[in-house]
Amino acid sequence: MPASDAAVLRIHPHPSDFTLVSQMTTADHDKTPLDTLSQDSFRVSARVSLRRQLAALVRKELTMKLRERTSTIVSIVTPIFILFILFMLNISLTKGITDVSPKPLATLSSNCPAGTAKTSCVSLGFTNSTNIDAVLAALVDVVAAAEPEARIVPFPSVDALQAARNADPTRFVAGVQFRDLSNLTAATTTPSIAYTIFANTTIIKTFQDVRADTADAYVRTAILNVFRAKQNLAPLRSPLVSAPAFPSNGMLFESVRGRSSSGISAIVPFYMIFMLQPLLQGVMTGLADDKLTKAKSGLIMMGTNETMYMLAAATANMLFAIATSLLVVLIVCVGGIIKYSSWVLVLVLVVEYAISLVLMGCLLSIMFSNPRQVRAMSLILMFVFLGVYGLGLALVWKQNNLAAERAMQLLSPVALARALALIMDAENSALGLTTAAWTTDPRFAAPFYMIAVDCVIYWCLAWYFDKLFPGENMGTPQPWYFPFRADFWTSAAKGLDPSTIKKNLPRGSSRFIEPFDVNGIPAADRDVLTICGVTKDFKSAEVQAGGLASKIAQRFKPQKLKRAVDDVSIDLHSNQILALLGHNGAGKTTLISMITGIVQPTRGNIYMRGTGNGSNTVLDAADPITLPVWRQSLGVCPQFDVLFGPLTVRETLRLFMGIKGATVEGRVGGAQPSSRSSLDNDYIDAVASDVELHSKLDAHVKTLSGGMKRKLSVAIALLGSPRIILLDEPTTGMDVAAQQRIWSLMRSCKKNRVVILTTHSMEEAEVLGDRIAIVSAGSLKTLGSSIFLKDQFGTGYSIGFVKKQAAAARTDSADAAILGFVRRFFADAHIDPASVSPTEVRISLLHRQSDATLGRGTSGGGAISFGSFYGALQSAVSTGELSANVESVNLELTTLEEVFMRFRDDEALLQESS
């Protein structure tokens, strides 16, 4: 072992050189903590506020997106680039109004199914609010003159007329609502009248089929004939009857309506689904990436509410999705793809659809934890959406089945495509989607309403399933009925009655568990954290190489259980640090994860005693209802850094202050700052100073070294003065000076707190641990102070003799002489076989180290003074019987590392034997 790992007594041949050289480990350094911490000068409380968490997380998301400019610009511009292709197609394929040719008006009855014109088909329906007898008589004349088989049917109200049209569009050609004809009888000049034409545009194939024009021509002619009769003028002939004297009579020119034909109207609905698909993929990829990098599990471990995490991600993505929507609508409307429709309605449609995609992404992300899976799935989903809309286009829309339409529009991409199809139909009629059409025609309004309904449904499902299936190491699953539990909706958890808790003693041989007397601990500091018989099993499938079919088959094979933690029980009290030692995979991090609540125990419980008004209650980490209250008392430094590169150190500390609900109430004495912001900044400065990061407060996290990032993680754990601090290998990657500073900080911070530290460093455990627990294969092997562990598992004192060159040639006799001398004082002394060499030999004195203190020792039945042994040893080495054999002597103690190595070797032998 290195000399620096033990207290060493060196004896040289000359008496003047007989000295006790104390080569102390860092464990022997002054354990007095720092006199004061900078953060101790502030009065800080912590109470989680969902509003503060949401604000802090949204600020974090927006800051990261704005600083990661390249990826953000790409995410916004990608749909615009795809839209540019549509814009170019529109320019090249649109047919303008310059190519005009006269087309005759079609009769209304020609639109009826064969054989139904005179029986069940309504060629022209009408309703009125004033007397229209004269107009009706004239209307019958002009219609009968052109098409005698046409049926003109009255309706009691406009609602009844529209209901008949919607019930069977193939048997209802056109309708007219006479709103105001009062001026017709009294007018002496051209009358002012008001009427509305209804036509079922869902089955119109070309502009020439627009029967609204024929109906309008009939109504205008009838009204004019009534007015002409008052003037004693001859009536106009039917507009569909041509005469040689009037070559244009009965002809409709496209230029009258400003008609134009768009070559892309049919593909716009499909194209818009494809174009906006990156919005869905971006949300799913971001959330899946947080799972892969453990950012989500780390945030939840450190107190983030799962719903606030998802809502913050959704909010930030919505804001950028809205920006994309504005650019899309600008290009679509200004670029002429949509000319006649209200740009406000188009903007509302696209914005609410973008929001629905974000919320759909939140819902679908629950199923994925790998961004590569998301990319493939988003492509598949796009084709599914396109296929569903195509199915509706072929089968559903023609049937005018409102229930089926609403059901299909529960997929917001289908609702968007349906709305765009209606808009493009209206655009082809040079009408567009107007506010009047949106308010009067339910076909236009339905997709808008359905997308809004979809948003609500997607969010509710995302919230519900995220509670049910949080994912591995992402939190504790709720029972399926959790929304119906009254305590789920209450702001504070009631906890348990301490008398109902059944504690388990630490499992293992009583010889290996140091008895702990709690009578010397104040009642308020006892049993702050109690781990009772905790066991955790993980499912582990054997993964073999092979193709896709082989991997799919393996999914159905029985899975084996791997026990990560096995029946661990420990009572923890305030003002103590528990150091957890164990090899990789021993279960240390799993135990920490169960204490934070992100991993649920397979069996057993972890209890925390309440504080303040809740001092008579106990919270259970396995109960997801009490977890929000539980995590208010936790400060966590996880094994991996939960940090975000684009943020600065100051922004990171402020973020976690918001997550923990840390409120700086003031300073301990002295003048108070003028504002809350100033007080928070001073507190952040103090926390950064305690971990020696004050000079890096404005540096971005991604520029910090590994050791500095660990310092920042430790600082985050201390924010808000938590009652329980969990430090999972906190000093990994730090230099020696930084470790010394953090160790001193930890010793200072244990006042009124429970600190649990996991480490691979024996020196760190010995420096900081008031009690040390060694965990192996998930089981608690031993628990006690450093002295107790050395006493139970150490080899006691040992003396190393460095032999002279002359003695190296007669090793056996020299070793026998040395052993014989030592046994005069310690009859149980023996040679350590592993240490025998021609130049050195080590004699082990005692196993029970507590008996081998400098002043007494036991060998057989008599007491031996170490002082007497030292004097005799000095004489023997200098001028006596050992002078010919021994050059120098080292006295060494058992170290904690030797204890741990012995445990490791014993475990290896146990595994080999089993």
Q: Is the pLDDT of residue 587 over 60?
A: yes
Distance CA 565, CA 537 (A): 7
Residues contacting residue 716 through CB under 8 Å, at least 6 positions apart: 302, 635, 637, 642, 652, 653, 656
Task: Answer for the pair 893, 6: CB distance below 8 angstroms, yes or no.
Answer: yes
Task: Answer for the pair 529, 607: CB distance below 8 angstroms, yes or no.
Answer: yes
DSSP category for residue 117: T
Q: Is the pLDDT of residue 350 over 90?
A: yes
Place of tokens 């009358």: 191
Q: Output b/e per residue, 230-263; b: 16+ Cβ within 10 A.
A: eeeeeebbbbbeeeeeeeeebebebeeeebbebe
Between 803 and 101, residue with greater pLDDT: 803
Place of tokens 């002012």: 192
**For position 528, what pLDDT does the model report?**
87
Q: pLDDT tens digits, residue range 639-684? A: 888 999 999 999 999 999 999 988 888 887 766 666 777 888 889 9
280 burial via Cβ count (<10 Å: 0-12, 13-18, 19+): buried
Distance CA 223, CA 217 (A): 10
Q: Is the pLDDT of residue 303 over 70?
A: yes
Runs of H (alpha helix) within 469-581: 486-489, 548-554
Q: Of the given ranges (98-107, 580-589, 686-695), which has the lowest mean pLDDT?
A: 98-107
888 burial via Cβ count (<10 Å: 0-12, 13-18, 19+): middle
Q: Of the given ranges (219-223, 366-370, 634-638, 787-791), which has the lowest mean pLDDT?
A: 787-791
Between 498 and 114, residue with greater pLDDT: 114
**Percentage of the chain modeled with pLDDT above 90:** 19
Q: pLDDT tens digits, residue range 490-501? A: 755 555 655 556
Q: Is the pLDDT of residue 694 over 70?
A: yes
Distance CA 287, CA 291 (A): 7
| Single-letter code of the amino acid located at 739 | Q
Q: Using pLDDT thresholds of 50, 70 and 90, give the confidence band for residue 255.
A: very low
Distance CA 85, CA 36 (A): 66
Between 39 and 702, residue with greater pLDDT: 702
Q: Is the pLDDT of residue 834 over 80?
A: no
Here the tokens at position 336 are 């002429």
Q: Of the given ranges (15-29, 234-248, 739-753, 761-775), which has the lowest mean pLDDT?
A: 15-29
Q: Using pLDDT thresholds of 50, 70 and 90, give the confidence band for residue 860.
A: very low
Q: pLDDT tens digits, residue range 163-175? A: 888 888 888 888 8
Q: Of the given ranges (312-321, 334-343, 378-387), which has the lowest mean pLDDT?
A: 334-343
Between 250 and 895, residue with greater pLDDT: 895
Q: What is the pTM of this model?
A: 0.72
Q: Using pLDDT thresholds of 50, 70 and 90, give the confidence band for residue 904.
A: low
Mean pLDDT of the chain: 78
Distance CA 408, CA 384 (A): 12
- Residue (of 783, 787, 771) closest to 903 by Cα position: 783
**For position 197, what pLDDT does the model report?**
85
Which residue pairs, CB below 8 angstroms and at least 24 apart, start in 140-146?
141/222, 141/225, 141/235, 141/238, 142/218, 142/221, 142/222, 142/225, 142/236, 142/237, 142/238, 142/239, 143/108, 143/218, 143/238, 145/237, 145/238, 145/240, 145/241, 146/107, 146/238, 146/239, 146/240, 146/241
Residues contacting residue 539 through CB under 8 Å, at least 6 positions apart: 559, 560, 561, 562
Here the tokens at position 789 are 């562990």
Q: Is the pLDDT of residue 536 over 60?
A: yes
Residues contacting residue 905 through CB under 8 Å, at least 6 positions apart: none
Strands 858-859 and 754-759, how do they pair?
A: unpaired
**For position 58, what pLDDT does the model report?**
95
Task: Answer for the pair 124, 176: CB distance below 8 angstroms, yes or no.
Answer: yes
Here the tokens at position 240 are 């569909």
